[in-house]
Amino acid sequence: MAVQTVNSEELHHWLEQGEPLVLLDVRSPQEIAEWKIQTEPGLLVNIPYAAFEQGDASAWQDLPKGKKIAVICRRGRTAKLAADVLAEHGDYDLYVLERGMQGWSQFYHPVTVHADDSYTLIQMMRLGKGCLSYMIHSGGEAVVVDPGRHVEEYVRLAEREGVRIKHILDTHLHADHISGASELAAQTGATYYLSAQEMQEGVIRYEDVSRYERISLSGVDLQVLLMQTPGHTPGSVSFLVNDRWLLSGDTIFVSGLGRPDLGGKAQEWALKLYETVLGQIAPLSDDVVVLPAHFSEISERCADGYVGAALGRIRADNAVMRLTDAAAFAAEVTARIGTTPPNYAEIVQINRGLVTADDDKRLELEVGPNRCAVKHLPQ
């Protein structure tokens, strides 16, 4: 069979529908350990490209001929070369992922979290980057929270939903990906909100979100309540929607807490995170559903398809959140900090408007998974 191509949306559809499929990643084991497509166990097979370059047929002899084989690399180039070699050696059903992992990192998938006559809440999943953003709309108006740089995705979603984007909120100044908030505000005429503690010397136009007790939408009694939740960054905020949904930014994740070290003050910010968890978050009901700005594993999705979990379950799973001693909390959090996100300093400067970058540069800066979480300490 001839080698075909598959784009990220189509590949995602295959994965969701349970198509007979193998993901053949031809990058090195080290690259895959660092960043890969999150799938169910057993779907991903690694055969480094060198085996195809050397014509080592023994390396791929166990690949099935009755399933689609999606070949993956960083940009799609070596995947095509490997697929061509396979096509010469057998009757495989071969597809090359367009633009490889770089293309996958720019794919957005909307999932409806809640919809009734009052309001709709949609989670935008950026699967390859582990980024999550949100649109809440009612009465023909919408709030967008933590938008990524691909602003056309939100414009398209607003058109699909028949709403006008009125407010744009960033829970904090992002360090692992480039925010689309300022550009989306410019395109739509919406107001961009961010804590002034985050912007510092920045030159981007915004409203200081800390000046507001709530931001409302017209048409219904829907209020997005603001919560000061520092720790990941000094000006982090979360948004509590109708006392039911906590858009937690990088403060609380399904599987951990926000890392406090990116400002070079890990101990100080860890203590702020303690105050947030034991002060602001502790009084919230166990029934409140946490909707974070990132995820690390596909297993963090709930049965309804979105990334989120009841706060009670997160508390039960994360022993750190139950620590009542500030020093012990800070020690556990700082001890579990992982690899520093690459390029985070330059991304922060871009998000403050102090540095510009073209599309190719932005793509390179964002390559790789998110690294904003401190993984939870099991009970």
Q: So which residues are the catalytic ones? A: 73
By the 8 A CB rule, do 137 and 119 touch?
A: yes
User: Are 309 and 245 a contacting pair, CB within 8 Å?
Assistant: no
Side chain identity at residue 175, one-letter code? A
Give which of 254, 277, 273, 290 is closest to 334, Cα–Cα. 273
DSSP state at residue 211: G
- The C-alpha atoms of residue 89 and residue 280 are separated, in whole angstroms, by 61
Tell me how far apart the alpha carbons of residues 211 and 58 are, in angstroms, rounded to a whole number.
65
Cβ atoms < 10 Å from Cβ of 277:
23
The 10 Å Cβ neighbour count of residue 40 is 10
Under DSSP, the state recorded for 305 is S
Neighbours of 33 (CB within 10 A): 10
Question: Of 249, 228, 347, 260, whose CA–CA distance to 294 is shortest?
Answer: 249
The continuous run of DSSP H or E covering 267 comes out as helix 266-275
Query: What Cα–Cα distance (Å) separates residue 94 from each residue in 5, 63, 69, 82?
Result: 8, 11, 5, 10
**E strands, 195-271, in order:** 207-208, 214-217, 222-228, 237-241, 245-249, 252-253, 256-258
